[in-house]
Every structure is written in C-alpha cells, then in structure tokens.
Structure 1
Amino acid sequence: MTMPLPRTPLILALLSAMAPVHAGDTADKPQTTRLAPVHVQADSAKGYHADNSQLDTFGSFGNAPLQDTPAAITVITRDQIDDRQPRTLSELARADAALGDSYAPVGYYQDIAIRGYALDPATGFRFNEMSMAGEQLQPLEDKQRVEILKGLGGLEAGVVAPGGLINYVSKRPADVHSATVGTDSHGSRYLAMDVGGWLTPTFGVRVNAAHEDMNSYVRHADGRRTFLSLAADWKISSNATLRLDTNYQTSGQRSVSGYQLVGGSMIPAHPSRTRMLGFEPWQRPVGIDASNSTLRFDYRFSDRWSAQLSAGHSHVVIDDNVAFAYGCFYSPACASGATPGWFFAPNGDYDVYDYRSPDDTRVNDEARAVLKGSFDTGPLNHEVSLGASAFRRTIDRRPYVYDYVGTANINEVDPPYFAPSPNQPGPSARRLTSWQHSVFALDRVHLGPQWQVLLGGRLVRLHERAYDDAGAPERDTRLSKALPQAAVLWQPTTQLTTYVSYSESLSLGNEAPYWTSNGGTTLAPLLARQAEAGVKYAWSDALSLSAALYRLRQPYQFARPDSTAEGFTFVQQGNEVHSGLEFNAAGQVSDNLRLTASLNLIQARAEGTGAPAYEGHQVVNVPRLRSALYVDYRLPFAPRLGLLGGWRYASPNVATPNGLTRVPAYNVFDAGLRYASQWNGHALTWRLSVDNVFNRFYWRDTGSSGGDSYLFPGAPRLARLSLTVAF
C-alpha cells in the first residue's frame, strides 16, 4: 500500500518560511545580488567537485591530485553531505553506483561492498588516512569529505579486502560559527554545532557537536546518539605543522534482524519494512561507544624533500543485544529436514534467540613514517615515497549468551512473549591480537611532459593470534608477502589523463560457518590481483568526467556441497572474478546546475569451483547494473532556491549461491529543496530532503554475515527538514 507523504506540516513550514523572503527578492533586486555570495561562501569552494584526495593506491600519503592518480576515487564533498543529509553508512553509499549494502541492519554498525567485495571492518575504514575500527556508527558532522577508493588498496593499507577503502577526512580549523536544528517525518530531533577559529596566527581549533533522538521507521527501534569532536592545527614554523583530530560518540538503538529466504529458496511474499522481527520487550538497545584520534606531523626539509609522521588510535566498545530472528531449527515446519535449519521455514516460521555480548571491544592502533622527495637523473624526474608502518588490532570479548527462547512467524505484527534466557555472559578475554609490519616504496618517473611510469610495492609481515573463550591459543597465522603495484599514465593535454595499472593485495580468509563440516576454521589469507585501465577528463575547473575498465580476481570462498554429515565444507576453490566498467561525473555543469552521476556495469562470477551450479551467473549480492544520479538546480529567477533530486537503480540481485533466487530490480527517486536567506544579518539555510519519494518497496541488501544470508528491505519514504544558522 502506498502511503501519503507523512508530516506534511514539515513542507508547509518550509514553504511558509520561504514565501516572505522570496517576495522580498521580487521587490528588491539589489538585495538578491548582495545575499547570494553569503550562501556560496558557506559551501566548499567547488561544491560537488573535488581536485584531490588523501587516498591514493600509489602512495602519495597526502593530497594527491585526482587527475594524476591512476585509480578510481570518488570524493563525497561537504556540500553533498549537507544537501543529502545522510545519517548512516548505507545512506552515504547511495552516492556512487559501485557501492552497495553488505549486511547493513538498522540500529547496528553497517558494512558495504565496493565493486562487489564487502569491506573488512578491521582494515577497510580509515580516519584521516589512519586505520579505524569499522564496527561503529560513523558520524559525519565533523567530516569535510568522504573519499572512496574503488579497487585494491594494498600499497595504501597492506592487508585489506579487495573492494577498496573508505577514508573519512576531518574538517580543519576555520572561522566558522553555525548551528543546525532538524527533524524528520517520524518526529526525530536533531541538533548540531560547528564552531572554529584561529586563536593565534599559528594555532587554530574546530569543535563539532551533535545530539540526535532517532524515531525509526521500524517499530520499537527508536534510538539516540551524542557526538563531540575536536580538530587542532599548530603551525610550529614555516616548515613544520602538527595536526590533531579526535572524536567520541555514544549511541543506543535496538538492532533490527533481517529476513531470510523462506524454505531456503523463496523471497518472503509479504515482508514489512516497519516490523521488527523477533521483538521482545526485554531486548535492550545495542550500545556503541566509539572514539577515534589521529596525530600527524609534517616537516619540510626543502622545496623537494619532506617527511610525515602519523599515528592513529580507534577504540570501540559494543554492548550487543538482540532478540535475534534466525533459522527454523525448532519449528515443526522444518522437522522433516527438507529446509536447512539456517533459513526461515516454508510457512514463515523463525526461531528467536536471546543474544547478549556486552563489552565487545575492538581497538586499532597504527603508526607510520613517510619520506617524500624528488630528484633528477638526466632527463628523468623522480618523485619517491619511502616509508614504514606498524598496525595492531585487538579484540576482547566475553563468552556470549545465544539461547533459543521461542518460535514466531513473519506474518505476526509482534511475536508472542518469550522469557529471556537466565544465562549470563562470562568474563572478558583477549580473542585476537593481529600485527602488521610493513615497508613500502614508490617511484613516479616523469618521462617527459606527457608520460609517467609508477613502480612501487609494499612488503607486509602479518602475525595474527586468535584465542578461544577462555583465552587459550586457538590459531597462529604468520605470513610475509610482497605486494607490487605499477602504472603507466599518458597525459596528451592538461585536461586528459589515461592510465593502465596493475596491483596486488592480501586479505584475511573468512571463518567457516558453524553449519559446515569445518565450522569455526579460519581459511588461509587470500591474494587478490587487479588490472585496470581508465581515462579522466577535466571538462572545466569545476567538472570532471572519468571512466574505468577493471578486472579483479581472488580465490572463491564458499560452502561446497559434499558427502560429509553436515552436507557442506567451507573451502577456497577456483576464483571469484569481477570484471566491470564504471562511469563517473561530478561538478558544476552550468552556472545553475551541478550534479554527481555514476554507473557501474559488472560481471561477478565464480570460476573453476568444482560446483557447476555456482558458476555461470552473478555471485550473491552483486547486481549486474547500478546507477546513481543526484542534481542540484538553482532557479535563475530565484537564485537562493535550489531544487534537489536523485535517482537510484539496481538490476535484479542474486540471493543464493546457485543463482536461482533473485530479488527484483528497483528504481528509487529522491527529491529536495535548499533555500538560503538572512535574518538580522545571520545567514540561514533551509534544507528539505525526501528519500524514496514514491514510497517504493525494494530489497536493498542480500548480503551475508558469518556465512548466513539475510535480506534487508529499503527504507520507506522519509522526509528530513533542517535549518542551519550562521552566528
């Protein structure tokens, strides 16, 4: 059933606020001309377009010009974040067609996939280039931009999943004083402040703070979060700079279980986007306390040589609580064994488990030193980067409670009441200690004004120790591997860059699901290889176009059917090959129009697996085609009013390894308004965003967690209204 747009007073309030000011525009043209620059100054210099990025697969370790980078990098600018008003990683990922959800529940930390490969929360997320624990709800109030590397990041990060990296870049100190208040069509309340300045000519600070009371579209899933951050820059001398960034967020919200295939092969017939499966009144919210800090010292020895020392610390504590909807082991409808117990029953039955894992602590620490410089050898110019890094990740966890409490059905609005388990979690123990020590080098050779050759590599030494619930050693993994990277660039004009590149990366093997014959076993690390060819064109200083053709492969990990008692063994056999073509555009098309647009066409298949049913079709949760478009059009006759709109498309998405079950394709449309005005000399910016304008039902995610597959529906129509005041 299509619902009418809720909370229409939101729109009426916005229009009523705009009406008198717009009337003033018509009557007083000079005032319009005078106020327009105020709005422009509040935005970043080039709106939706970025010139550089901290991320670079070829080791810039600083701000690399995107035009000279032989890699596909998307930068989500502050203007885009402000206009779209995303609150979660899943909402942020809508900005690029190469990204998609990969087990992203409401009320829980979320993961995404890039080019069809899910990111590893241990190493796939970065804060100002330094490793950050991904098991957190990442706030955006203190971020100037979000950078997305699509493809291998071995030289940048070492042991990392092949899809890519996400780097959150902090705002820097500036003369800023603003406050934002907001709400949405469910009655959420939002307040944020952004205050900064230079206290002396050489020392500046910036503070961001936010609080949000979240009224979720899912029943029983309301939550809250509070956030605070500090950024400080100290210009010690003309050659030395020190930067500090630190933030802290605490949040609490009930986690929403995903659907599973009914009978192991069928999409649920009548799913609900607003129903919390397995809800029990004793279910506590998932609490996540997260802090992230980075410290960076830059020193310039001369015009040609400089050094950089960086350190990062990320600390996350998760109180994981959920009445978890999972499987049908205890349902009479699954008693015959025809339906595997790790799916929902054919009649929609599912089991409810009391899951509690408090004090689940993840810590990432990283230190890095880089020496950068340039020199000439005859007619050749060399830009070199040499460095070393050390990375440590630890996990401390208590033996959790995971007890069956009852069986419910997906057609029930709320399941029956089941008493919680009387059991309690055990004492905390160290479960994982992982070290990576690396040295890396890169030489960018300029062969003339048009040609460049890049040669580099990273030597990684991995030592990882895992322990059982009691702290006894369970696994000891030691590995050393050289990861080469190379690229050739041709720049026939200053506007056009073409490149070909080759790179390798290393990622950790997955843990076998409990329902396989080798359940709990962690497989060997995986070597991934990528070849890419791309072209980048700077249409203007404010608009860039790019395209990339890539082929990425790594060993295929899957539960192979066999004759064991369990019926499956988790193995690495054959290869998972992702071949794709990407197009991107970002920036200012005309004086009144700016946009971001992307398209990703990908063939993701398993080859040589020894299981023919798993080959010859797309792998799970990788739509063959995605596209994303977002536009901002400023009306010529009302230059303070911007019309915002977006469109997202995904083709049918595979939900089972044999490719026989797929969720349908979808088109989703978004809309919005932005209006700039003044009141008593203060700049005001109103923003209204409406996601999923036509309230379309769609499945946004068919990803997996722990080897089990889940289905998550997309959010229904949601309107957000905010007002930003500069003071």
Structure 2
Amino acid sequence: MYPREHASQLRNGFRQGRVASFPSRTMTVNRTTALPARRRRTKVGLGVGLGITLFAAQAAAAPGDAPAPDAGAAGSATLPAITVSGERGSTLRAREASVAGLDDAPLRDTPASVNVITRALIDDQQAKRLSDVVRNDASVVNDYAPVGYFEGFAIRGFPVDLASAIRIDGLTVSGEQNVPLENKERVEILKGLAGIDSGVVAPGGVINFVTKRSANVASVTGGVDSRGSTSAAVDLGRRFGPDNQFGFRINAAKENMHSYIDGTNGRRTFGSIAADWDISPRASLQLNAEFQQWIQRSAPGYQLLGGTVVPSVKTTSKALGTQPWAKPVTTDALNLNARFDYQFNDDWKAYLAAGRSRTMIDDNSAFAYGCSYAASCTAGATSPFFFGANGDYDVYDFRSPGEYRRNDDLRAVATGKFATGPLRHELTLGVSVQRRVVHMADAVYDYVGSENVYGPDVTFSPSPNSPGPSYPRLDAWQYGVFGLDRISIGEHWQVLAGGKEVLLRQRSWSSLDGDTTRTDRSVFLPQVALVYKPVNVLSLYASYSKALSLGDQAPVRATNAYAFLPPVESHQFEVGAKYDWLDRLSLTAAVFSISKPFQFADPDPSGTSYTFVQRGTQRHQGIELGAAGRLTGRLGLTASVAAIRARAVDSGSPTYEGHQIINVPALRASLYADYAVPGVAGLNVLGGVEYSAARNANEEGTARVPSWFVFNLGARYTTKIGGHRTVLRVSVDNLFNKFYWRDAGEQQGDAYLFPGAPRTARVSLTYDF
C-alpha cells in the first residue's frame, strides 16, 4: 500500500438473469399446436417460457409462412387467440435491488437512496474499473484513487469503508482490490445508512456487485483503446439437466493496460465461475468463485506546493518519482461465496449465505511525498508534509510485500408475510458473523533523493534495506442480530421499523512496539421509516438510521501515532420521493442530513506537531435528484445531481470550520443518453457529460481545485454476422481533452491531487456464438 496509507488500513474492522428487451408491438396468436405432457418447475416458469417462445416464433415468421395446423394430430389442443402487448424495456433502468437489506425489493418501495448501474450501461460505456461505473452517480467521487492501485471512493462526502462497504452478492469483500466487472450483472449503490444488514460501516454508504447467473449465453469481446491497451473476454453459460435444474456461467478476461501516465503500464488476468442448482421446486443453491491478478506500476499523487498552492501542471503523462528499479504493485484477489435458498411456503422463505474474500498485495513504489530533505525545504520555510513552494519533493523507496487481508462473512436470513387484523406484515429476521484479518510486514520506507514537479526525472539508488517479516495487525469480529418489519396500513401507508444489535470485538497490533489494542463495543442500531403511496406509481418516505464505524487511526507523524480512536456513531435523517412516469422513466429525489464525530489533526500551540483527536461534529446535508429510463421510444437516459454542504462544527479549531470539507464538491452532476437513430436499424448514438464544482484541496480550505466539465461521446451498432448477434461499440471519453483534477482526496492526514485521464478512444466488438 502507499506508505502514508500503511497505518490507515489497519484501522478497518469490520439472483438474477439477463432480461430480454423487445420492441413495442402487439401480436395475435391463433394456431393449433401439440402440447406434450411435461412437468414444469413452476407455473411462473411455464408462463414466461411460453410467452417468450410464442413471441419469438411470431417475430421470426412472416405472415403465411407457418404450415397449416394438423387438426387431427393426437394429443393436440386448440389454443384461443392470445394478444401479447409489450413495451420496449429500458436497459438503463433497474426495478429492484438487494443492497438495502430488503432482498430484491422494488426500488420504488425502498425508503432509501439506491442507484443501480445496469449491465447494458457498463457495456456501452466500456467500463473497466469501478471508477468508470460510479461516474454515473453524482453522489460518488474518487477519494484517493491512484492509477495502478486499488481505488478509494466517497459517497455523500464520506470515505467508503474498504473493510466492510464493498460487497459481492451482499457479502463483504476485501475492498483493497479493483473488483472485476466482466462477470457482474449490475452494480448497486446504497447512499447513506439505510441498510439493516450493514453492521459496522462508515456513514457514506455501500457498493454491491451482483454476479451474473447461469443462462444459455456464449460471447467473446475484444477491445482496444487509443493508447494501445488491448483486452479480450469470454462469457459462456448453459442451463442443462432433465428440467434445466443445473447451470453455470464462466467469465474470463485478459487485459494489457497502457496507461496515460508514463511508466505505469500493466496487465490483468481474470477468471470466474458461477454455478446454480435448482435442487427442488423449493430449494436452490448458488456457488460463485472469481480470481484476478493485477500487476501495474502505480503513480503517486501531487501535493500542494508549500501547502497552499495547486501545482500549475497541465500534463497528465508525468509520473512523479519514477525509478527504473521500482517494481509494479501485484494484487492477487480471490472472492468466494455461496447461497442456499429455501421456500417453506408461499409466505415464508429463508437463505443461508457465506463468503470469503482474500487479497494479497506486494506493494512497491518510488513514492513522491513531502519535502524534508530537498535543499529548498531544509530551512523550514515549507511544511515537510507538502511539496516545496518551488515544486521540490522527496522520493522514497517503499516496499511492503505480502500485505494480506481477508474478509469472512456468514449470514442467515428469513423473510415472511402475515397479517394481524387489518395490518399486513413483511418481516425480515437475520443473524450475521463477520471477520476481518490483516497481516503486514514492517515496510521499507527510506528516502533516496529529491526531484521537482517541473524538472526532468532523476535516477537514484534504491535503499539497501529489506522489509521485515509479516505478522498480524488486525483481527476484528462482528456479531449481529437484525430484524425489520414492513407494516402496510391500508393501501397507502407503510411503516418500516427494526434495527440491528451489533457486538464488535477487535484486536490490533502496533508496528512500532507490538502493543495490543482491544475494542469491545455493543450497540443497537435502529432504523425506522414511514412510506406514503398516494398512487401506485409514487412513493414518499421519511427515515432515520443509526450506524457504528471504527475510529480512524492516528497518522505516523501525530504525537499519538498509530493509536486507534474509539468507534463512532453516525446518524442520518432522510426524506425522499420516487415516481415512475408512464412505467418507463424512474424519477427520484432525496434530502438528507448525516452527522458523525469530527476526527482531525489538532495542532499544538507551537504549530510543529499535532495530536489526532475526535472533537466536534462533521455534518453533511444535501439533496440528490435522479432519473433513469426512457423519455421516448428512441431516447433513453440516466441522470444524477447531488448538492452537498459538508461542514465541521464545534471542533474547537476554527481553522477547520466555516468551509466545505476537503474533496467534497458543493455540486456535482452526471448525464448519459442513448438515442436510437431513425432509418438505421441497430445504430445508437451515445453520449454524456460530467460536472464537478470546485473542491477544497486541504483541510483548512485555503486551496481549491477548479470546477470542470468533461464530455463523452460514443456509438453502438448491433447487427448480425453469419446469423449471430454482433455489437460494435465506439466511445471517446474526455472528448475535448480537458485537463482537470479528478481527485483531491485525503489519506491519513495528507492531501493528494490526481489529474483526470486525457482524451481516450475505445473500440470493442462483441460476437455471440
């Protein structure tokens, strides 16, 4: 990991298939056909299968092409005329999500702010990393996300907890990885605290990846970009068995990455398998496994010059501190999970899910940081924790091999429906156990020389020292019991009431002296909401939630270096509205207020040192607007706007108050559109724009990175080659080659600046076989 981050990571404790989309049409079927006697697994499966079969048959055959029916055939039956009407579905709009703890509840009836990025949108934007996906949500920003390293994010202005807020199929994974996208059906973003299954997690929210399930699919995809990157992927699935009760989905990918930053090229290899077994009409089993190896040199971020000035660089290609002896960062990630579902009857069901996620990182970097040793800084005119006023910075040989992190997650959940008099209940009950383990070595972090952001690269000799042995740094357990009752009162009102009792037990070991820190905390985390539905297509809600998160760890330069601050409680109030317009466009709005204790570096009277403390309150208040679906039969869109006011109050340190929190834009917006070109079958024009207001680049609010617009353009052409569906996609990101600072995040008390990618063109071809 990055050296300034080395201590921070120790603090972290702890079913769906592809839906067919058909054009709008009405058809009448009136034919005689033989119906073989065959046992079907469910009435729903019979209806869906028959409907799709009839639709496909009618679409494929011209009128009059069908042979005359054999009225005398044995076992035949005459079907009455059937009228099937279908509205073309939107590939940009999702109707349900599982991330809020309500197990695939309709989004319109979920009293929380949830955004779902669909598979179709991921494909059309040719997304490779999570940062490519979350740009569609204005409430999510990069927060310390270097090229060549695992990415960090903030939701509603709060950093995402990599120990517990990144999920696959609802189970926590080690967030210190770039989760692969090739085998994912959708990405769900829960914004805020509204999730009874969240447990100990930071207040920003949760990001959940949903795995593709087995289906009869076979495709290959090849891609290239304007920098020479190449990629290839295969997606292969089958359903089989006497009743199609077995299924699998295999995904594999290979990518050679040519970065826009010099010297940071890399490669990636990925493979996964998902298996399904419908054991009986009541029971089913899912198994998932994926492995990815990511090898790439990382690029350190810029820092403020003299602690107050944003560097005036206009190039994105320069890699700070580049040294020929610096090895790439190697990340091996293995994610496993299983889920067993059982339907007791029409009203009650349950599932048992378990997962293990493991990452192993060999972290290497010629790391650019601060200015303690350069001649221009030794006189003390510049803080040693920033670049020099003239652009000088120090270079460190950083090596931290064998960084091991593991997340284990086990949960059992039962849901049921029943009535008590006029009240209808939908009850969810569950228990969960989570464990987070971290092992690390004492890293090499040695000064080797100094350079300048405006000057040429200089080669230095590496440090002769070697890292120490790896040993345990963190062992954290979470035990939870949770319940939620959705009570329907008549046709228009619903009350949701519940919560989670969490027991946190954690041990951590300091790399300085081996001292052990223990944390034992038990707390009840309530969640309540009121939902009013004046009409079926509109939901209005108000909610309150409480969460527990681990306290931050003091940076190495603090007087209380490596100390873990106590766990903190967060509180959220939210009101919102969700409306489905003509059943084709979903509109959402939410207003929220989230507060938690403020954690910051409190300077001593001399200004030469500080103590990392919890004091005062950090309060984020904002409004979010969203839209997803189709405006017309040809035009689809997804749009997001977030306005956030983030402040620290009552900290006792006026320097940190009265201005926006670092790296939180007051306004951010994102728009993406998909237009079907008339007269050219299969051709769609794609495009979008992203906006960010200016952001503070330091805690004091005295330095800011400017606002920016970035425009993106693309096209999708769907045709057939040799009778097989073929899709050609072309996209250009950052169309006008705008230089902008995409990330002004803070890590362990240090502020970093990362430029956004320049104009990049991508082409990909997907062939179904």
Does the alignment reach a TM-score above 0.5?
A: yes
Separation in structure 1 between the aligned mates of residue 136 and residue 600 of structure 2, nearest angstrom: 30
Separation in structure 1 between the aligned mates of residue 282 and residue 421 of structure 2, nearest angstrom: 29
Return the letter of the residue paired with 1:250.
Answer: Q
> Please, which of 233, 237, 244 is the counterpart of residue 192 of structure 1?
233
Separation in structure 2 between the aligned mates of residue 603 and residue 472 of structure 1, nearest angstrom: 41
Q: State yes or no: 1:480 paired with 2:522.
A: yes
Q: Which moved more, 1:142-151 or 1:515-524?
A: 515-524
Separation in structure 1 between the aligned mates of residue 147 and residue 584 of structure 2, nearest angstrom: 36
Q: Pick closer, same or farther for the CA change 1:202–1:613 going to 2, 3 Å.
A: same
> Please, which of 171, 179, 189 is the counterpart of residue 130 of structure 1?
171
The alpha-carbon deviation at position 333 of structure 1 amounts to 1.3
The alpha-carbon deviation at position 34 of structure 1 amounts to 7.3
Separation in structure 2 between the aligned mates of residue 253 and residue 322 of structure 1, nearest angstrom: 11
Q: How does 1:449-528 map to 2 (within 5 A)?
A: 449-469=491-511, 472-528=514-570
Let me know the Cα RMSD of the aligned residues. 1.4
Aligned to 1:69: 110
Deviations 1:140-182 (A, max 9, x none): 0000000000111552210001000000000010110000001
> Please, which of 217, 242, 253 is the counterpart of residue 210 of structure 1?
253
Return the letter of the residue paired with 2:471.
Answer: A
The alpha-carbon deviation at position 470 of structure 1 amounts to 8.6
Deviations 1:76-131 (A, max 9, x none): 00000000011122222211100100000000000110000010110110000000
Aligned to 1:246: 289
Q: State yes or no: 1:423 paired with 2:474.
A: no
Q: Is the 8 A contact 1:93 1:112 kept in 2?
A: no
Aligned to 1:630: 672
SS in 1 for 2:731: strand
Return the letter of the residue paired with 1:383.
Answer: E
Q: State yes or no: 1:397 paired with 2:397.
A: no
Aligned length: 683
Q: State yes or no: 1:149 paired with 2:193.
A: no
Q: Is the 8 A contact 2:220 2:233 kept in 1?
A: yes
> Please, which of 564, 572, 577 is the counterpart of residue 535 of structure 1?
577
> Please, which of 631, 636, 643 is the counterpart of residue 685 of structure 2?
643
Separation in structure 2 between the aligned mates of residue 212 and residue 357 of structure 1, nearest angstrom: 25
Q: How does 1:116-515 map to 2 (within 5 A)?
A: 116-153=157-194, 155-200=196-241, 201-413=244-456, 415-469=457-511, 472-515=514-557
What TM-score, normalized by structure 2, do the two folds share?
Answer: 0.87
The alpha-carbon deviation at position 468 of structure 1 amounts to 3.1
Deviations 1:33-86 (A, max 9, x none): 979xxxxxxxx9530000000111xx31x2111011000000000000000011
Separation in structure 2 between the aligned mates of residue 185 and residue 319 of structure 1, nearest angstrom: 29
Separation in structure 1 between the aligned mates of residue 734 and residue 347 of structure 2, nearest angstrom: 51
Return the letter of the residue paired with 2:115.
Answer: T
Deviations 1:305-339 (A, max 9, x none): 11110001101000100000000010111122221
Separation in structure 2 between the aligned mates of residue 443 and residue 553 of structure 1, nearest angstrom: 26
Q: Which moved more, 1:88-97 or 1:487-496?
A: 88-97
> Please, which of 106, 110, 133 is the counterpart of residue 92 of structure 1?
133
Q: Is the 8 A contact 2:194 2:527 kept in 1?
A: no
Aligned to 1:17: none
Q: State yes or no: 1:685 paired with 2:727.
A: yes
Separation in structure 2 between the aligned mates of residue 465 and residue 619 of structure 1, nearest angstrom: 31
Q: State yes or no: 1:107 paired with 2:148.
A: yes
Separation in structure 1 between the aligned mates of residue 401 and residue 194 of structure 2, nearest angstrom: 33
Aligned to 1:22: none
Return the letter of the residue paired with 1:54.
Answer: S
Q: How does 1:511-660 map to 2 (within 5 A)?
A: 511-563=553-605, 566-660=608-702
Q: Which moved more, 1:317-326 or 1:675-684?
A: 675-684
Aligned to 2:16: none
The alpha-carbon deviation at position 562 of structure 1 amounts to 2.2
Q: Is the 8 A contact 2:291 2:334 kept in 1?
A: yes
SS in 1 for 2:364: strand
What TM-score, normalized by structure 1, do the two folds share?
Answer: 0.92
Q: Is the 8 A contact 1:70 1:501 kept in 2?
A: yes
Extract unaligned runs of 5+ from structure 1.
1-32, 36-43
SS in 2 for 1:67: helix
The alpha-carbon deviation at position 271 of structure 1 amounts to 4.6
Separation in structure 1 between the aligned mates of residue 125 and residue 767 of structure 2, nearest angstrom: 18
Return the letter of the residue paired with 1:48.
Answer: L
Return the letter of the residue paired with 1:407.
Answer: S
Deviations 1:171-208 (A, max 9, x none): 01011000000100011111000000112210000000
Separation in structure 1 between the aligned mates of residue 596 and residue 679 of structure 2, nearest angstrom: 54
Return the letter of the residue paired with 2:273.
Answer: L
Q: Is the 8 A contact 2:112 2:194 kept in 1?
A: no
Extract unaligned runs of 5+ from structure 2.
1-58, 62-87
Separation in structure 2 between the aligned mates of residue 313 and residue 190 of structure 1, nearest angstrom: 28
Q: Is the 8 A contact 2:482 2:500 kept in 1?
A: yes
> Please, which of 99, 102, 108 is the counterpart of residue 55 of structure 1?
99
Larger Rg: 2
Q: Is the 8 A contact 1:600 1:627 kept in 2?
A: yes
Separation in structure 2 between the aligned mates of residue 647 and residue 322 of structure 1, nearest angstrom: 34
Deviations 1:647-666 (A, max 9, x none): 00001100111211110000
Return the letter of the residue paired with 1:597.
Answer: A
Instruction: Give structure 1 regions of 4+ aligned residues with deviation exceeding 6 angstroms.
Output: none
Q: Is the 8 A contact 1:391 1:435 kept in 2?
A: yes
Q: Pick closer, same or farther for the CA change 1:187–1:603 going to 2, 3 Å.
A: same
Separation in structure 2 between the aligned mates of residue 89 and residue 340 of structure 1, nearest angstrom: 34
Separation in structure 2 between the aligned mates of residue 205 and residue 470 of structure 1, nearest angstrom: 49
The alpha-carbon deviation at position 569 of structure 1 amounts to 1.5
Identity %: 49
Q: Is the 8 A contact 1:342 1:708 kept in 2?
A: yes
Q: Is the 8 A contact 1:431 1:471 kept in 2?
A: no
Aligned to 2:753: 711
Return the letter of the residue paired with 2:537.
Answer: Q
SS in 1 for 2:680: coil
Q: Pick closer, same or farther for the CA change 1:535–1:565 going to 2, 3 Å.
A: closer
The alpha-carbon deviation at position 564 of structure 1 amounts to 6.0
The alpha-carbon deviation at position 502 of structure 1 amounts to 0.2
Separation in structure 2 between the aligned mates of residue 475 and residue 203 of structure 1, nearest angstrom: 49
SS in 1 for 2:131: helix
Return the letter of the residue paired with 1:125.
Answer: I
Return the letter of the residue paired with 2:357.
Answer: S
Return the letter of the residue paired with 1:404.
Answer: Y
Separation in structure 1 between the aligned mates of residue 400 and residue 134 of structure 2, nearest angstrom: 28
